[in-house]
């Protein structure tokens, strides 16, 4: 075999990204929103603080492969931990601040966290569960707020850094396959599962995220990552920004529509990323207050299906372009991005925008039928979406109970999907959410999107309800906009113009709010439990839609 004469042994580690932030993009900045106004730091200064933090971690006995946990908002300090821990050979473990206490206990103990960095505003949350952590020795509080009654050794972040030498840290030589980060799934069934990212997978994912057909980050961008840094590495944005010199506007605890809109306006944000519920709230604020959002070129939106009506409303009213993306914690998470092919216009353009997106470079995908056979890419034939690639998990961390999610290198996503000849994925449902009525599938995702296109509907989640005749029928759980009124007949009529008649629910449940998971997705298991317990008041359609079943 004739080998190429390039440096195939050059390690792809996060140290390379830190080095670029220190030198090539030293003038780019991190802006963190605070109670006292925005705090700014150049990338070069952030890199110096990363050196100090690495000295501090080494002094605290943190060594190779030790888990360094965070319980924090999106801030400059959190970014410094993102860089220092993995670059010194430790493993960054981001704890989800929105998980239930028993889930946090399981995750911290399963990961065997040794130290936790916690924002002072989150101490009251953490101190309730901290006594159940079996391996944590030290807590580092970020900010001047009360440290509460945290057990073990308690340190202050800024005091810790101030005690360190100004000498650069001697970064060790790392293998690119070494573990760099650990994120856990939100645990919709059973215990959360850990996904262990390597240095190489993080670096390659950063390159993939920065391609023009994905996020397209560059040194001229100013990114507002609203997606939390505890959710799949904030979709890889911190590392992708460091790779390209994109400035970061960190929202901290200010996650409400008004401060986010004001930050976009003041900091001239060019790109942002968040789940659909955030952009639905921001749309209401923008409609009522008309902030100047003209600097924004694009918004990456994912974590759940993005309603077409939301994308169109933003574009028509405010000229802001929302780009749908798909991924999972297991995919680091970027798997596909919905940028239409050249020449797609009108309805065809929006049809592409309404899909989960085109498969990213270095990601391979297939559709597998119930019988295990691979299905054609014809845009119509559906089955389970399976993916593989250099930043996609091949197993869960220290948890064989999840082995059934992997098939000889392929990740079984649990999404029911089709792929067309352009490589665009159309996800019709989750395997656990699809409604099987009379032997045929009904897509809860499609029904939700069409319901949320109704001008009086704020949110909609569709679940299956038992039916003697058809086995299952859809039950639409609907949140009506404040000050609006709408009947079940109105909603059924609206749907009949947009979906197959037999898809139209024969009953609706009007609720105050759709429950959300820790990462902002609709939590349908809560609605299913309410239905099972008789807590959902079902209102029939005056002319039952089920009578039109074919």
Catalytic site residue from 80, 330, 448, 450: 330
173 is catalytic: no
Catalytic site residue from 135, 211, 441, 481: 441
**Is the CB of residue 192 less than 8 Å from the CB of residue 217?**
no
Compute the distance between CA of residue 454 and CA of residue 487 in angstroms, rounded to an integer.
Answer: 12
Compute the distance between CA of residue 534 and CA of residue 468 in angstroms, rounded to an integer.
Answer: 17
Catalytic site residue from 70, 185, 270, 382: 185
Q: How many CB atoms lie within 10 A of CB 469?
A: 9
**Is the CB of residue 76 less than 8 Å from the CB of residue 43?**
no
Catalytic site residue from 153, 284, 436, 529: 436
Which residue stretches of 35-136 are H helix? 43-59, 76-87, 101-111, 123-129
Angle at 259 between CA 254 and CA 263, to 5 degrees: 105
Tell me how far CA of residue 131 lies from CA of 105, 108, 420, in angstroms.
9, 11, 51
One DSSP character per residue, 145-193 reads S--TT--SEEEEHHHHHHTS-SSPP-PPP--TTSEEEEEE---SSSS--
CA nearest to 474, candidates 436, 501, 522? 436
Q: Which residues pair with 119 in a beta bridge?
A: 142
- Gyration radius of the chain's alpha carbons: 24
331 is catalytic: no
436 is catalytic: yes
CA nearest to 495, candidates 531, 438, 543? 543
- In terms of C-beta density within 10 A (0-12 exposed, 13-18 middle, 19 or more buried), how is residue 515 classed? middle
185 is catalytic: yes
Report the catalytic residues.
Answer: 185, 330, 436, 441
């Amino acid at each position: 075999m004739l080998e190429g004469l390039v440096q195939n042994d050059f390690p792809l580690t996060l140290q390379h990204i830190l080095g670029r932030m220190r030198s090539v993009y030293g003038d780019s900045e991190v802006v963190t929103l605070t109670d006292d106004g925005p705090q700014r730091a150049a990338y070069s200064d952030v890199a110096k603080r990363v050196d100090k933090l690495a000295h501090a971690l080494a002094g605290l006995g943190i060594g190779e492969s030790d888990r360094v946990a965070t319980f924090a908002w999106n801030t400059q300090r959190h970014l410094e931990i993102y860089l220092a821990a993995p670059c010194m050979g430790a493993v960054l473990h981001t704890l989800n601040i929105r998980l239930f206490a028993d889930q946090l206990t399981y995750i911290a103990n399963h990961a065997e966290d040794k130290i936790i960095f916690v924002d002072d505003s989150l101490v009251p949350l953490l101190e309730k569960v901290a006594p159940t952590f079996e391996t944590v020795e030290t807590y580092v509080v970020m900010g001047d707020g009360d440290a509460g009654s945290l057990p073990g050794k308690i340190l202050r972040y800024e005091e810790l850094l101030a005690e360190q030498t100004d000498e650069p840290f001697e970064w060790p030589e790392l293998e690119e396959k070494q573990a760099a980060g650990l994120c856990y799934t939100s645990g919709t069934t059973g215990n959360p599962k850990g996904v262990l990212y390597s240095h190489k997978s993080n670096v390659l994912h950063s390159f993939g995220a920065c391609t023009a057909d994905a996020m397209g980050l560059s040194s001229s961008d100013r990114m507002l990552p609203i997606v939390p840094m505890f959710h799949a590495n904030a979709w890889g944005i911190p590392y992708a920004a460091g790779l390209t010199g994109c400035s970061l506007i960190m929202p901290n605890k200010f996650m409400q529509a008004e401060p986010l809109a004001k930050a976009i306006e003041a900091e001239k944000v060019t790109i942002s990323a968040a789940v659909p519920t955030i952009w639905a709230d921001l749309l209401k604020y923008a409609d009522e207050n008309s902030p100047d959002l003209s600097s924004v070129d694009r918004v990456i939106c994912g974590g759940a299906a993005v309603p077409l009506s939301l994308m169109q409303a933003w574009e028509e009213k405010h000229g802001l372009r929302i780009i749908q993306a798909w991924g999972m914690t297991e995919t680091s998470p970027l798997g596909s991005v919905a940028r239409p092919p050249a020449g797609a216009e009108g309805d065809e353009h929006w049809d592409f925008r309404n899909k989960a997106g085109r498969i990213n470079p270095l990601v391979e995908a297939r559709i597998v039928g119930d019988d295990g056979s691979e299905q054609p890419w014809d845009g119509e034939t559906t089955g389970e979406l399976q993916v593989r690639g250099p930043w996609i998990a091949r197993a869960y961390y220290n948890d064989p109970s999840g082995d059934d999610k992997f098939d000889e290198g392929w990740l079984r996503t649990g999404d029911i999907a089709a792929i067309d000849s352009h490589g665009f994925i159309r996800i019709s449902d989750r395997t656990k959410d699809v409604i099987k009525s009379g032997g045929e599938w009904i897509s809860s995702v499609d029904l939700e999107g069409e319901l949320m296109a109704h001008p009086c509907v704020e949110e909609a989640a569709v679940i299956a309800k038992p039916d003697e005749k058809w086995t299952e029928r859809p039950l639409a759980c609907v949140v009506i906009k404040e000050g609006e009124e709408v009947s079940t007949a109105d909603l059924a009529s609206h749907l009949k113009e947009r979906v197959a008649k037999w898809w139209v629910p024969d009953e609706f449940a009007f609720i105050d709010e759709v429950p959300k998971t820790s990462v902002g997705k609709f939590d349908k298991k809560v609605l299913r439990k309410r239905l099972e317990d008789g807590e959902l008041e079902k209102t029939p359609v005056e002319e039952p839609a089920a009578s039109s079943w074919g």
